[in-house]
């Protein structure tokens, strides 16, 4: 019984770490245009969609 509880605890911890990493990555992607260090800023999402669709 203790083995199952311990395994669940480890899996829960791993899931939490993965969730934090994914959430941090998504937040980083969303704020990247604001902190972009390049002189000529990266294309905005709107510009990228227009280029991809050809409109």
pLDDT of residue 42: 63
**Distance (Å, rounded) from C-alpha 20 to C-alpha 26?**
10
Question: CA-CA distance, 27 to 19, in Å (whole number)?
Answer: 12
How high is the pLDDT of residue 33? Answer: 77
pTM above 0.85, yes or no: no
Per-residue confidence (pLDDT) for residue 2, from 0 to 100 = 54
- Could you read off the pLDDT of 1-53 as tens digits, one per residue? 555 556 678 889 999 999 999 999 999 988 887 777 666 666 666 777 777 78
Q: Within 1-55, where are the H helices?
A: 2-35, 45-53
């Amino acid at each position: 019984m203790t083995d199952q509880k311990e395994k669940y605890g480890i899996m829960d911890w791993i899931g939490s770490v993965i969730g934090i990493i994914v959430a941090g990555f998504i937040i980083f992607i969303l704020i990247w245009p604001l902190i972009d260090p390049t002189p000529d800023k990266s294309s905005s999402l709107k510009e990228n969609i227009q280029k991809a669709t050809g409109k």
